[in-house]
Amino acid sequence: MDSSTLGITRCGNKEFKWGERTYIMGVINVTPDSFSGDGLSYDIEAAIALSRRFAAEGADILDIGGESTRPGANPVPVEEELRRVIPVIERLAGELPLPLSIDTYKWEVARRALSSGARMINDIWGLKHDPRLAELAAEWRAPIILMSNQRDTSCQDIIPEVLSSLRKSMTLAGELGVAWENIIVDPGIGFGKTLEQNLEVVCRLDELRSLGRPILIGTSRKSMIGLVLDLPPDERLEGTAATVAISIAKGADMVRVHDVAQMARVCRMSDAIVRGRCPPKD
């Protein structure tokens, strides 16, 4: 399916016109234990400063998360997650024009985040943990990102598993009232997949086009890059750039990244090649 047939998703005061260009989601980790080394914990001013920087560097949306999703991370109680994310969302909603996404799989966190100014839900469990997130998205007419997460399963053939998982999540979202245009899918790089499976997902990302919805992908600083290049998270910029460019060529519509300025350049160059989108001449 051509991206131009995916229509428009409205998120707060912004429209995502799928197919025109690749959109950039900047990662704001309000956690002390982020895998990527960028966790800001309770430092609200640091989170605000980073968000302003990302906005200036070309981010289209910011994803605020208060619980690390790295393998082996301890779950965070709801009240603790709220203490981390709500003050940041409240400040940003009043100061920046960019829409905000809440990165959570917990109903109460999502509810409070939407009430505080977030306008998108990013659910790493694709409604498997709490289907009520879809009801919230429907109530607020907010887009929801549904991820395929293999941490609770074991699979040998990864692409059929990802497609099946996402179809189930999409069907459930629709049954609970989420508008078709408000569904975004994410194959879940790094979530319960082997290195080989992660590489295969990126290589075969275009097969997710059969789902008929825009594709978000988050490869930024992920362990698959570290395993291939034998580098720590803070040295995975070039590896991230390679995965972002290839993902765009394979059909990604939005990329979730930690290094906005650099990946914005990668997206512009990739879009010029893949979408024929060149900057206007003077």
**pLDDT on residue 78:** 96
**pLDDT on residue 282:** 47
Check the CA dihedral 56-61-65-68 and report its sign: negative
Residuewise pLDDT in 10s, the chain (282 residues) = 566 689 999 999 999 999 999 999 999 999 875 544 455 667 889 999 999 999 999 999 999 999 987 777 788 999 999 999 999 999 999 999 999 999 999 999 999 999 999 999 999 999 999 999 999 999 999 999 999 999 988 888 999 999 999 999 999 999 999 999 999 999 999 999 999 999 999 999 999 999 999 999 999 999 999 999 999 999 999 999 999 999 999 999 999 999 999 999 999 999 999 999 776 654
**pLDDT on residue 31:** 84
**pLDDT on residue 25:** 98
Given 106, 222, 236, 250, the catalytic residue: 222
- For the domain spanning 10-274, the CATH number is 3.20.20.20
**pLDDT on residue 213:** 98
**pLDDT on residue 3:** 62
Domain boundaries of the chain, sorted by first residue? 10-274
Tokens read off for 263: 């990946």
* C-alpha–C-alpha distance, residues 98 and 92, integer Å: 9
- Catalytic annotation present for 17: no
The amino acid at residue 187 is P
- Catalytic annotation present for 193: no
Given 256, 265, 268, 277, the catalytic residue: 256
Residue 120's alpha-carbon distances to 2, 33, 183, 263, 269, in angstroms, are: 24, 24, 10, 22, 27
